[in-house]
Amino acid sequence: MGGVNNSKLSAVGLVVALAGCHLFEITQEEQPADQAVEVDPADYAERVDAKLRGFSVCRDVVASVMIESWDRYTDQVSDEGKPKRKREGVYLRGIDANTFRSCLRVIEAAKSPPTMPLIEQRTVDIVGHASGYAELTRELERYIHDERWRDDDWARLTELDPQLRVNHQAWLDADRELQQAIDLRHVENDRILLGVLELRRTPLEVAARSVMIHVRPMVRCMTDETTPSVEQCAPLHAKFDAAAAEFAKIYQRDRESANKVFWMETFANDVEEYDALVDEFQRKAGQRKPKLSEVQALVDGYSSLVRDAETLQFDFP
């Protein structure tokens, strides 16, 4: 990344001052007791972003598993805890005990600075509630596999149903709080981060990061059940469109050099495809309520973009 001249350092300082220096205050639990700690605001903004992305990846993994499992369950089981189609019975695949192992690593790493106690606690909450739900799905899977429902006429399912619903609702509530906490911290950090990146990174990397900064709030808005209308998300969609267009322009300017960045070609293709997917989603949503499959495609595409962005290696080889 090379050295940074004094004018650039002054510019970083100006960005920080405009955004509010409170963001870079060191909490007591971060600071060693025996010495003062100096923090480079630019490095701090990047560390905050990296940590938030780790929490977001964990959240998305848990949400994807929970949504798929819950949709399958409620498609087959009534609110009274009985099979909706008794002749077909119920089939539910239990969630493996190791499914959330990556989240446990995120939680362990969260103990290092910069500390984010609220986000860390909400992450612990979603993993705890999802793990409780997962344990019940494994019990239910064994019950179905052993065909014990033949003896009790699905009585055990009726007993487990309220517990599944309680754990799912607890996860859902904690998940919303976690998303809000992550988004709030991103709002505080993203503007500073883009200013930092513009000074320290190549235009291609800045454009790629800008795409990811703008896609997150748009997807959150479009997939949030509490959003009254997808039209409410139009301003966020426009910002993402602009970021994707700027990235495409820079990428196409010198594709050969750009593709020397590890995984860049895949990322660029996925950004183009996702931009088209979002446009189509927005168009259909203006005519009718989005189908569950369309929302899931939006979520899956976003998750794929996140994985692509995490794989990019601008300093490789």
Count of domains observed in the chain: 2
Residue 188 clears pLDDT 50, i.e. is over it = yes
55 & 175 share domain: yes
Q: Provide the domain limits for residue 295.
A: 201-317
160 & 14 share domain: yes
CA angle 188, 192, 193 (to 5 degrees): 105
Q: The domain spanning residue 221 has which CATH number? A: 1.20.120
Query: Which of 142, 177, 194 marks a domain boundary?
Result: 194
45 & 174 share domain: yes
168 & 239 share domain: no
Q: pLDDT tens for residues 16-63?
A: 333 333 333 333 333 333 334 467 888 899 899 989 989 988 998 899
How far is it, in rounded angstroms, from Cα 161 to Cα 159?
A: 6
- Which of 312, 290, 310, 305 has its CA nearest to residue 215? 305
14 & 161 share domain: yes
Q: Is residue 2 part of a domain?
A: no
Q: Is residue 34 part of a domain?
A: no
Across 203-217, average pLDDT:
93
pLDDT for res 3: 40
Query: Which of 126, 160, 194 marks a domain boundary?
Result: 194
Q: Is residue 105 part of a domain?
A: yes
Q: State both tokens at 179.
A: 């998303």
Q: pLDDT tens for residues 143-164?
A: 999 999 999 999 999 999 999 9
pLDDT for res 7: 40
Query: Which of 194, 227, 262 marks a domain boundary?
Result: 194
Q: Is residue 48 part of a domain?
A: yes
Q: Is residue 1 part of a domain?
A: no
Instruction: Calculate the average pLDDT of the chain.
Output: 86
Considering the entire predicted model, what is its pTM? 0.73
Q: What type of residue is 119?
A: I
